[in-house]
């Protein structure tokens, strides 16, 4: 008897779920888009994009969405358009029961601050530019100089990741200057010298050499006596005095 009751209850539950699925499918096919609702998920701490900007961006790419059936709106296509907005990392687009085309947006997270010919912008972990909007107070590694010599911005991101991953270098290195020949020069907080690493290859080896020089090769009082420490060349360190 108990077995029959259980089977009956499971059957009724299955019928109910199937009925609800069918109901929602029918409702979705007849539900009309009444309005667009944009939510910027992480806007409490910083805002690189506003809901209004995303809404206008969507309207520029699509004919009027309001008044159309949701089944006629390609959600993936809307997502793709939203994701092309410079400050957007990803988005989620779907319809709601009250007739809203919901667009949830995650902003890109800056990891570098770039000064390039009077123009300031930020870079995220993919090397994508984020236009500056107002002030952004979080401390970031600064990059300036001949930015046109940088072939791939992801190289700068890789360098930043390395520096950020070590508490000593994070505290010591405050700026990256791109020289006219494309060499990357690190500007430390302590000392008058600059550190020429050339490019981002063999970062672990280069920074180990630099650390050994700091610990065993140079007296701290000598740090202001050098103009440049060159780590470009494998197997040697070239120190140039002021």
Which CATH number covers residue 76?
3.10.20.310
**Same domain, yes or no: 178 and 65:** no
The whole-number average pLDDT for the span 5-28 is 47
Structural domain span for residue 98 = 32-107
pLDDT of residue 12 exceeding 60, the answer is no
**Same domain, yes or no: 228 and 171:** yes
At 161, is the pLDDT very low, low, confident or very high (cuts 50, 70, 90)?
very high
Contact 223, 195 (CB under 8 A): no
Contact 231, 210 (CB under 8 A): yes
Could you give the 3-state DSSP secondary structure of residue 59? helix
**Same domain, yes or no: 126 and 178:** yes
Q: pLDDT value at position 3?
A: 56
Q: Worst-scoring range by mean pLDDT, 66-75, 132-141, 178-187?
A: 132-141
Confirm whether 98 is domain-assigned.
yes
**Same domain, yes or no: 37 and 150:** no
**Same domain, yes or no: 133 and 179:** yes
What element of type H or E holds 95? strand 88-95
Q: Of 52, 84, 107, which marks where a domain is finished? A: 107
**Same domain, yes or no: 42 and 94:** yes
Total of domains in the chain: 2
Q: How many CA atoms lie within 13 A of 91 on its CB side?
A: 30
The whole-number average pLDDT for the span 85-107 is 96
**Same domain, yes or no: 37 and 101:** yes
At 17, is the pLDDT very low, low, confident or very high (cuts 50, 70, 90)?
very low
What CATH number does residue 187 fall under?
3.40.50.11690
The whole-number average pLDDT for the span 27-53 is 85
Q: Of 107, 134, 153, which marks where a domain is finished? A: 107
pLDDT of residue 21 exceeding 90, the answer is no
Confirm whether 13 is domain-assigned.
no
**Same domain, yes or no: 37 and 61:** yes
What average pLDDT does the chain have? 87
Confirm whether 20 is domain-assigned.
no
**Same domain, yes or no: 102 and 114:** no
The whole-number average pLDDT for the span 118-128 is 93
At 164, is the pLDDT very low, low, confident or very high (cuts 50, 70, 90)?
very high
**Same domain, yes or no: 123 and 237:** yes
Q: Of 70, 87, 107, which marks where a domain is finished? A: 107
């Amino acid at each position: 008897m108990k077995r029959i009751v259980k089977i009956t209850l499971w059957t009724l539950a299955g019928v109910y779920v199937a009925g609800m699925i069918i109901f929602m499918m029918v409702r979705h096919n007849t539900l009309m888009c009444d309005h667009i609702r944009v939510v910027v998920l992480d806007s409490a701490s910083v805002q690189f994009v506003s809901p209004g900007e995303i809404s206008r961006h969507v309207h520029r790419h699509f004919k009027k969405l309001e008044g159309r059936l949701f089944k006629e709106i390609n959600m993936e296509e809307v997502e793709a358009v939203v994701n092309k907005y410079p400050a957007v990392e990803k988005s989620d687009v779907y319809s709601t029961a009250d007739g809203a085309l919901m667009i949830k947006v995650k902003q890109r997270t800056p990891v570098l601050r770039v000064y390039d010919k009077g123009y300031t912008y930020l870079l995220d972990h993919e090397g994508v530019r984020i236009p500056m909007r107002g002030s952004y107070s979080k401390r970031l590694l600064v990059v300036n100089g001949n930015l046109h010599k940088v072939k791939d911005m992801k190289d700068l991101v890789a360098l930043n990741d390395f520096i950020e991953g070590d508490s000593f270098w994070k505290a010591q290195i405050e700026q990256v200057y791109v020289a006219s020949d494309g060499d990357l020069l690190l500007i430390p907080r302590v000392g008058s010298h600059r550190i020429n690493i050339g490019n981002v290859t063999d970062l672990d080896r280069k920074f180990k050499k630099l650390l050994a020089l700091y610990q065993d090769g140079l007296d701290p009082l000598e740090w202001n006596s050098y103009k440049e420490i060159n780590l470009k060349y494998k197997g040697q360190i070239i120190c140039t005095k002021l």
